[in-house]
Amino acid sequence: MITRREFLKLAACLSTSFGLSNFPAVVGAALKEVDYATVPRLLYLQGQSCTGCSISLLQAEAPNAVSMITRYSKLCFHTDLSAASGKQALNLIEEYISGRAGEYFLAVEGAIPWGMPEACMLGDKPFAHYLTEAAKTMSGAVAIGTCASHGGIPAAEGNLTDAVSLGEFYERRKLSPLLINIPGCPVHPDWVWKTIIHLVQVGLPELTKGQPKPFFETRLHELCPRYHDFQEEIFAKNLGDRGCLFKLGCLGPDTYADCPTRWWNGGQTWCIGANAPCIGCASPLFASKKQFPFYRIFEKEAAAESRKNEARFIFTG
Ligand code: SF4
Ligand code: SF4
């Protein structure tokens, strides 16, 4: 007889080790021979970003990052990975945006400095210029990570640039290209690459609030192996303790992401598995408020109740 906790852990390990996806069609599709002539080109640009999402994407395991950018997509430009630089890089970007209508998808990492365009330049033009021009010719855009999807840390309260997400940017410019948001700080490589495989081989995945539904439809809290502890009111008092991490600041109850079943680092671990609270990095309001620290000291009942309400307010508006 195994406990619920052991069962969930075992299920998570098995699904990860077999590379199972929540996209049923993708599992079969990814194994099919790819017609290389039809795979889309990816133009990958970075705005107000720390490059953490790019680093995370390179950690992909099944398929690995090399397969993803050479077999399932053609990476035509990436700021960090491409050999082209300077004028040559700018020419390449402009050639795609102006001369290859309908032949490429735009991947954007990072927020856009709406109120201070000069804070993010590509050559002598603002990043925003390229995004506006690309909206006229691209097949669609993928916002990679929380900064591009929701604004993230660059858009935190008090920021000087009036940073906005890619969706907000296009809305303000009255443009409405096809857009898929894939949040996470950093983004999980599976969330991005499996969405791209789906786009290539099956078509547009089902979305919830603009995000691929299979990865972001369920509250993390409900998938968590410590949910039973939460129900039994067994709370950790210090990092490293057994028990639910809610009173140490866990935002699992307000976050929609499949981390408890997907795990990170090639299925080695994930935040709560490593005894750290979920900091809600995939949530729309991640890091948006100055007065909302990632971690908290153990909170007594009254403080925890007020924090619960505060979290609800912050995450639901
Ligand atoms: S509050 Fe956090 S640690 Fe507790 S059950 Fe929910 S997600 Fe898991
Ligand atoms: S568990 Fe929470 S903080 Fe950790 S990666 Fe998932 S959504 Fe982000």
Give residue 283 CA to ligand 2 midpoint distance, Å.
9
pLDDT of residue 68: 83
Residue 315 has a pLDDT of 53
Q: What is the rounded distance in angstroms from the CA atom of residue 159 to the CA atom of residue 113?
A: 10
Asked, as a colleague might, if the bond just before 154 is cis with ω within 30 of 0, I would say no
Cα(60)–Cα(68) distance, integer angstroms: 9
Report which of 282, 257, 260 is spatially closest to residue 271, judged by C-alpha positions: 260
**SS3 at position 177:** coil
pLDDT at residue 216 in the model: 98
All domains of the chain in start order, with CATH? 33-214 (3.40.50.700), 220-312 (4.10.480.10)
The confidence score (pLDDT) of residue 314 equals: 53
Cis ω on the peptide bond leading into residue 293 (within 30° of 0)? Answer: no
Helices (H), ranges, the chain: 4-17, 24-31, 52-57, 65-67, 86-99, 127-137, 145-150, 166-172, 189-201, 213-216, 220-223, 227-232, 259-262, 301-316
Provide the b/e sequence for 196-210 (b: ≥16 CB within 10 Å). bbbbbbeeebeeeeb
Specify whether the backbone of 180 is left (phi greater than 0), alpha (psi in -120 to 50) or beta: beta
Q: Could you tell me the pTM of the whole model? A: 0.86
> Residue 252: its pLDDT value, please?
96
Confidence at residue 5, expressed as pLDDT on a 0 to 100 scale = 43
- 250 part of the active site: yes
pLDDT at 33: 57
Query: Catalytic residue at 76?
Result: no
Is the shortest distance between the CB of 164 and ligand 2 below 6 Å?
Answer: no
Q: At 113, is the secondary structure helix, strand, or coil? A: strand
* pLDDT the model gives residue 310: 59
pLDDT at position 9: 43
Quick check: is 13 catalytic? no
CA distance 55 to 49: 12
Residues of the chain with pLDDT under 50: 1-21, 26-27, 29-31, 317
Furthest-apart CA atoms within the chain: distance in Å = 66
Ligand 2 within 6 A of 180 CB?
no
Is residue 259 lining ligand 2, measured as CB closer than 6 Å? yes
pLDDT for the residue numbered 309: 61
